[in-house]
A and B are shown apart, each in its own frame.
Chain A
């Protein structure tokens, strides 16, 4: 079956290139990995297309995985619209990024088979995640992508900063994964299964279940939803757990594009949609999802405005856009969040890869303050980056116009307090999005060149193998919006989703969206207006009057520094978590173990062995004592047997 082939072809590619890479040589290993991805990129979208043409959704059983008493999960691939659309997107984008990597990694001195093996392995894990038919397999993919992300962030393992970033990413994700795993345990406890087909129909019946915690009782569905969402916050870098994502930019740029923009970080959003039959019965948890999502959207956008590293700007932008998706999921507009997930995959992968092309051209320079005026030298890169930014800012007719605006409208249409909060946040964030995107464009491509003459002389357009994926993605960023709008959100949505996303009967947010858009005529235009406003501000500050940013940074010093230093989250965590943990570890070891616990036996040991003077004594003396003790034991045993007979 095509679907299974789409999932397992990347695994085959990864194994061949990873295990045989040194044997068959770099070129062949790369070829194997790309072949696997191409197969996936043909089969995945094809399987999705079949589904839209009326093929039956179903489950492909691959075999038994874990069995323990009543507990039972299978290896299985779920074939429905939600999974298939993700498979199509992941395999396709991943294939493009594989191709791009041929060019981007071309100058890297190390053997490249390792890079391609990781990349393919990542694609496999991500595909397992989205096709999971039970939560344990989802967790397998979830942790698998985490591992590959760790490996790829730390790809240049001779750089201390890359190693630190890799560990940070893995550990921060793990912190969120623990509540996630406990959430799975709670689902099993309440539902007796972790398979979707058993959980989903049973949710309504468990609506009134309670679970005791913190000395009071909560709805058990709420507790489960909260725990799952904490897991999603980790993987999707939401407020509080976001600290790993910007550091992840230490990895090669194709990695940032694939993992930390297009696919892995969207896993949390996907989880919300996948678990919608459960989330829909957890209104408080959903409110929290919206609150966190909207706050992240604004928070990350503020940081994005002050960063100078081109990749970090895009990283914070990703963080912010993920916040949008959660905000939509939280108000029940899962379709809108999935829509944005797909369009975002195109334009954010595009932005990252173009940034990679810029970095490539600039001899590995990433600081935008040293760029400027590049558009003549790398016109294609400049053009596609404009397309990506237009899509990101939500300008008609680019993709973001459809998906992002739908999210902003949905938060308003929800009509709840947290919904209005989200509306304000996302609208403000839209202004900032326009601002930081054009700040990036202006600083990089326009104005006067600020790089040294030597670097400028070397600036060159990337090879075709890199430009081709960029152009394909740019086309995606242009057409994905109006091409998919009808299916994801509008008239054809019921026939498209076919129940793979559940909306409770009381959830009318998509209907309500149309109502408010008709009632308040200016509402649909607000997001675009916000985006354009942001662009204009950037135009004034970086083109009309380039001295303005410096003066503003001085006037608004504290705020600027707050944004520049990312709201001091890293410093805070270091102070309240990392340092105390290290100090505690030393204390437990040196005082707890070595002094307190070992005090007693050490005294005894010294009595018996008389220090560590002689080995002879050990071999004869102590052993004799030991044998003697055993002998006494046996004698006592026999004696008691005799006596008590």
Chain B
């Protein structure tokens, strides 16, 4: 029987998850008329659907109980009873804000694609709504099988968005994206089966309490790692990301950087760390090494880029390196910092892709050398760009600082050099971002077509306004976000310490 004993009093998570799909179906079936009418109606239908979903998720935001570390708003429908697989939804401190991030970025993406997407508008809007269903579902699923379906399902609309509305090399990028992420998923599927065989259930909350043998943990960890590392993406499996970003339309890049990039790190937090504590500890130095390499290597590569989107894509890899460092410190500051960095990167990197999109829509090139001196013509744009650049660099008072700083605090409790080298992004990030800004905004206008370029339109201001507000809010009063995951992270760290102690004790008895 459906158990809907949550605060909202109705299956709010399912509603948030499936409503976009309903919107997509409506767009698919109900719209009639010539192409222009359909396009316009599809845009409005998608926007209203996504806004409705956003409002619903705000209910989630207000009624979430911050003191409860466990899953809330639980829904449970028996699905395949003989396998003990259920349709189970729920959010805890770790996932609730990502649901909000997804539902916030979707209308922003739809709005940013308003004029930019001109062909197959109906299909584009449908893809985006389906994508929203998959993303939200992934963050809400508390059953592993359900999670797996959403996790894989996300790839399909994203694949289409890059492959159909992308740039000239979209085929290459889409296939690369698909190959990389699929290869990892297959291994996760194996891990899922193994866990099910061992624990007899696919309920995530139960799996978190299940003690797997250290030997088994190692194999499970590697399988998960294959899947999540690609998604993060960690060095050296990151090269699909710059290509995917470069070819994706602006809205695609925004959602890719904003939400899809968080799937890997979310997976580490949801599965690897709580379910496989011994293996996570064992592999932590390995993760740290890869992450530090990611931070330094990709920051340097970003410095050499000549394509705006590629530069920001590489900077994303570096920022996600900070996230993976934070997760594997296993202390409250490190993990909270990682979560905060994920959220802030979700806002800031998305905004930077939008910033690129603004000039791309006008001049139709992402080549940095084609710009310069925009400050004169576009003062509003220069201001918005400056704010997000500084947030990306991690200036205190903006969202970017809190996560980075907490991770440095957390990682120093592990190792001095980890903190110092992991923090190298502070320096290199400043170098590549300021260099980018200089080449685009500063200097004199040398290209004739830039002389008539227009500053931000009202629609663009509407798109940026919530992102600007959030970037500052997260920087000035981050407690209103950290309070959501403080309890859950605290419980997670305790659970991790206890699990490690139990293993040590067990080993003591055996010896």
- The residues in A between 601 and 640 inclusive whose CB is less than 8 angstroms from any CB of B are 601-602, 604-605, 608-609, 612, 614-615, 617-619, 622-623, 626-627, 629-630, 633, 636-637, 640
Task: Say whether, besides A136-B405, A163-B443, A182-B423, A645 and B83 are in contact (CB < 8 Å).
Answer: yes
Asked if B284 lies at the interface with its beta carbon under 8 angstroms from chain A, I say no
Q: Could you say which of B332, B413, B427, B435 contacts A189, with CB atoms under 8 Å apart?
A: B413
Chain B hits for A182, CB < 8 A: 408, 412, 416, 419-420, 423
A532 CA to B422 CA, complexed, in Å: 52
Indicate if the CB atoms of B416 and A213 lie closer than 8 Å.
yes
A592: Cβ under 8 A from any B Cβ? yes
Contacts of B373 in A (CB 8 A): 158
| CB-CB nearest in chain B for A613 | B171
Residues of A close to B503: CB separation below 8 A: none
A70 within 8 Å of B (CB atoms): yes
Interchain CB contact under 8 A, B438 and A605: no
Known A65-B478, A178-B426, A585-B303; judge A608-B193 contact (CB<8 A). no
Assess the B424–A178 pair: CB atoms within 8 A.
yes
Contacts of A71 in B (CB 8 A): 332-333, 406, 409
Asked if residues B336 and A181 are in contact (CB atoms below 8 Å), the reply is no
Residues of A contacting B489 with CB < 8 Å?
A: 68-69
Partner of B305, one of A163, A179, A589, A637: A589
Q: Which stretch from A32-40, A140-148, A476-484 is at the chain B interface?
A: A140-148
B301 touches A589 (CB 8 A): yes
Binding site secondary structure of chain A: helix
- Please judge, given known A-B contacts A585-B304, A608-B179, A615-B171, whether A597 and B239 are in contact too, CB under 8 Å: yes
Q: Which residues of B contact A605 (CB under 8 A)?
A: 172, 175-176, 179
Contact with A along B398-413 (1 / 0, CB 8 A): 0001100110110111
Say yes or no: A609 contacts B172, CB within 8 Å: yes
Closest to A641 in B: B83
Query: Does the CB pair B300–A584 fall under 8 Å?
Result: yes
Cross-chain contact B189 with A644 (CB below 8 angstroms): no
Q: How far is the CA of A602 from the CA of B169 in the complex (A)?
A: 13
Asked whether any CB of chain A lies closer than 8 Å to the CB of B178, the reply is yes
Contacts of B196 in A (CB 8 A): 641
Given A65-B479, A585-B304, A601-B409 contact (CB < 8 Å): no
Q: Judging by beta carbons under 8 Å apart, are B163 and A585 in contact?
A: no
Residues A126-183 near B (CB distance < 8 A): 136, 139-140, 142-144, 147, 150, 154, 157-158, 160, 163, 166-167, 170-171, 174-175, 177-179, 181-182
Interface residues of B in 275-301 (CB under 8 A from A): 297, 300-301
Interface string of A575-603 (1 = CB under 8 A from B): 00000011011101100110001100110
- Whether B443 and A181, one on each chain, are in contact in the complex, defined by CB atoms closer than 8 angstroms, is no
In the complex formed, the residue of B with least CB distance to A69 is B332
Chain B residues, Cβ within 8 Å of A645: 82-83
B395 at the interface (CB under 8 A from A): yes
CB-CB < 8 A to A588: which residues of B? Answer: 297, 300-301, 304
Query: Is the C-beta of A53 less than 8 angstroms from some C-beta in chain B?
Result: no
State whether the Cβ of A66 lies closer than 8 Å to any Cβ in chain B. yes
- Give the nearest-CB partner of B435 in chain A: A167
Instruction: Give the nearest-CB partner of A194 in chain B.
Output: B409
Q: Which residues of the partner chain A approach B430 to less than 8 Å between Cβ atoms?
A: 170-171, 174
Determine chain B's interface SS by DSSP, over half rule: helix
Measured CA separation A157–B390 after assembly (Å): 17
Q: How large is the interface on B (under 10, 10 to 19, 20 to 34, 35 or more residues)?
A: 35 or more
A170 vs B390: C-alpha distance in the bound complex, in angstroms? 11
Q: Which residues from A are CB-within-8-Å of B476? A: 65
With A68-B482, A167-B438 in contact, is A581–B300 under 8 Å at CB? yes
B488 to chain A, nearest CB (A): 12
B371 at the interface (CB under 8 A from A): no
Asked if A174 and B426 sit within 8 Å, CB to CB, the answer is yes
Interface string of B333-348 (1 = CB under 8 A from A): 1001100000000000
The answer on a CB contact under 8 Å between B180 and A154 is no
With a 10 A CB-CB cut-off, give which of B180, B186, B304, B408 has the most chain A CB atoms. B304
Q: Which of B164, B193, B478 meets A66, CB within 8 Å?
A: B478
Contact B175 A581 (CB under 8 A): no
Collect the chain A residues with CB atoms within 8 Å of residue B479's CB. Answer: 64-67
Give Cα distance in the complex from A44 to B326, angstroms: 41
- How far in angstroms is the closest Cβ of chain A from B408? 5
Contact B424 A629, beta carbon cutoff 8 Å: no
Please determine whether A178 and B427 come into contact, CB atoms closer than 8 angstroms: yes
Question: Given the complex of chains A and B, what is the CA–CA distance between A502 and B486 in angstroms?
Answer: 37
A22 at the interface (CB under 8 A from B): yes
Question: A602 to chain B: which residues have CB within 8 Å?
Answer: 176
Which B-chain residue is minimally distant from A63 (CB atoms)? B477
Closest-by-CB residue of B relative to A157 is B442
Asked whether B336 lies within 8 Å of A68 as measured between CB atoms, the reply is yes
- Min CB distance, A64 to chain B, in Å? 5
**Contact call A68/B332, Cβ cutoff below 8 A:** yes
Nearest chain B CB to A164 CB, angstrom units: 8
A455 CB contacts on chain B under 8 angstroms: none
Residues of chain B within 8 A (CB-CB) of A186 are 412, 416
Q: Are A139 and B336 in contact (CB under 8 A)?
A: no
Asked if A188 is at the interface of the complex by the 8 Å CB criterion, the answer is yes
Partner of B442 from the list A144, A158, A585, A618 (CB cut-off 8 Å) is A158
B460 to A: closest C-beta gap in Å:
17
A185 at the interface (CB under 8 A from B): yes
List chain B residues, Cβ under 8 A from A633.
152, 185-186, 189
Instruction: Known A-B contacts: A68-B486, A178-B420. Give 4 more (CB < 8 A).
Output: A136-B396, A182-B412, A211-B416, A598-B239
Q: Can you give 10 contacting A-B residue pairs, CB < 8 Å?
A: A66-B478, A67-B483, A69-B332, A69-B490, A140-B397, A174-B426, A589-B301, A597-B238, A605-B172, A619-B163
The 10 A-B pairs with the shortest beta carbon distances in the complex, nearest first, are A69-B332, A185-B412, A140-B396, A585-B304, A157-B442, A585-B300, A68-B336, A612-B171, A589-B301, A585-B303
